[in-house]
Chains A and B, each alone.
Chain A
Amino acid sequence: MSKLFSKFFDDGEHGETASKAEKTDSNSKEEAGAQAKAPRRVITAPVITSDADAPSTDEEIRIKARVDDFDFAQCSFCVNQMLLPDYSAWMPGAESAQASPLAQKIFQEDGVVSVLIHEAEVIVERHDYIRDQWKPLARRIGQIIREHLKSGEPAIDPEFVKGIPPENEIKQKLDSVLENELNPGIAAHGGFIELLDIKNNTIWIKMGGGCQGCAASRITLKQGVHAAFRAAVPELGGIFDSTNHAAGTNPFFASLPGGMM
């Protein structure tokens, strides 16, 4: 069995992921009794996934499509072969896909507005966002990915990664955007955004406070955070939101006057 460590999946401000190895509390009853009066916290255990979910080394190309639960304009295609190891490439239009023969082919499909290639995953965004309408396009994109992989041509020109700034430089720029642009603005709504992790040009963020569970968080993320980050670092690839919005304890809409939502 392999484990999908839900590193960033917590249950609100007191939540955290823990394992037996991480916990060092004493077993003594005296200490446990003292802890009984401490504030309770809710932890989330890592989910154990089956081997069938793990990347495979099969020669047969297998692709699974999944429409985003919260953003029906996006569909991800998980491939059992690596496409772009350790990096990601975000292409907001055909003209930006010069380095990716695969993305160029996907952009030939009607309605595709962006393509993100990250390790063994391709995330495609289209104009319209009716969930049930994804299947025909998803099947065509699946076929494009499969045929491209069979051709032996790389998904991204290997030279692409040479133009990506070092990770620490990217982090410095993003920290500056957070500190000077984004967080002062959303602090008025009781929210904040945190840069959780960075791997080369891929980042994971978390929205907290009033942003966690807020109905407008997707708009904040796409129109605010994505735009500001990409303006500061054009080479930025995937921006993944690790927030567990269902566990928001103080979403902004909860504090609007007059019960407005």
Chain B
Amino acid sequence: MPRLESFTIKLKTGENGRGDIPSFVFNGIPCQFEQVNGSAQSGEVMEGFFSPRSFTHSFILRGPESGVWDIESTEVTYQVAGQEPYSVKFDGVQLDPSTDLNLWHEPPSEEFDV
């Protein structure tokens, strides 16, 4: 598993939003996004940043405390030690108080044209 230096996240909320700022759990430790712009209310886009500087064992977005949260799309840009940054865009999901979303995606494999 690579060392995640930092990441940015862009969350686009669909029909059902939430009034609070979402949080995440990195390697079992609850964390808050930094440099937050926007919100997770219905139809809004929220951007955040964090610098874990740690090897990634687990990286999950917490579901809402109550109700449901429709995420239309999630885009994460990972800055991993010793590699170029890479972005992964996840499709829509619905989270609730018992459901979290995996935010970790391994760096893409090296490909070359032959």
Q: Interface on A for B, CB 8 Å cutoff?
A: 3, 11, 15, 18-20, 23, 25, 27, 29, 32-33, 35-36, 38-48, 62-69, 77, 135, 138-139, 141-143, 246
Contact = CB atoms under 8 A, between A and B. Distances in A.
Nearest to B70: A20
Given A36-B66, A45-B74, A66-B112, 12 more contacts: A3-B91, A25-B68, A41-B100, A45-B91, A45-B101, A47-B88, A47-B90, A47-B91, A64-B111, A65-B111, A138-B112, A141-B114
Interface string B76-108: 000000000000111111111111111011100
25 contacts: A19-B92, A27-B68, A29-B66, A33-B97, A35-B97, A35-B98, A36-B65, A40-B63, A41-B98, A44-B102, A45-B71, A45-B93, A46-B90, A47-B105, A48-B73, A64-B111, A64-B112, A64-B114, A65-B111, A65-B114, A66-B111, A67-B110, A69-B106, A77-B114, A246-B1
Contacts, number: 113
A30 to B, nearest CB: 10
Nearest to B67: A32
B89 to A, nearest CB: 4
Contacts of B114: 63-65, 77, 138-139, 141-143
A99 to B, nearest CB: 24
A42 B94 contact: no
Nearest to A143: B114
B18 to A, nearest CB: 11
B16 interface: yes
B113 interface: yes
B14 interface: yes
Nearest to B100: A42
B60 interface: yes
Contact of B91 (A48, A62, A68): A48
Contacts of A29: 66-67
A139 to B, nearest CB: 5
A38 B99 CA distance: 9
